[in-house]
Amino acid sequence: MIAYRLLTHEDSSAFCHKVTEALSKGWTLYGDPTYAYDAGKGVMMCAQAVTKDVPGDYDPEQKLGQL
């Protein structure tokens, strides 16, 4: 099965660390990162999709961050 996650965070080094951690755990970048302005918080937000080929079938109870 191919697992999919969308990583999001404010535009800061914390977002880069989040993506780097996922890559170090075997996740692969999927598409380009995106940016949007959150007017409520007054900050830019980042998003990056990642995928990972994992054994087994889809389980909606599975915590994707633990794969």
Burial class (CB in 10 A: 0-12, 13-18, 19+), 51: middle
Q: Determine the pLDDT at residue 24.
A: 97
Residue ranges of domains in the chain: 2-57
Q: What is the pTM (predicted TM-score) of this model? A: 0.88
Cross-sheet strand order for the sheet of 2-10: 2-10, 43-53, 28-38
In the chain, which residues have pLDDT < 70? none
Q: What is the pLDDT of residue 65?
A: 86
Which pair of tokens denotes residue 46? 């980042």
Taking CA 17 as the corner, what is the angle to CA 24 and CA 58, rounded to the nearest 5 degrees? Answer: 55
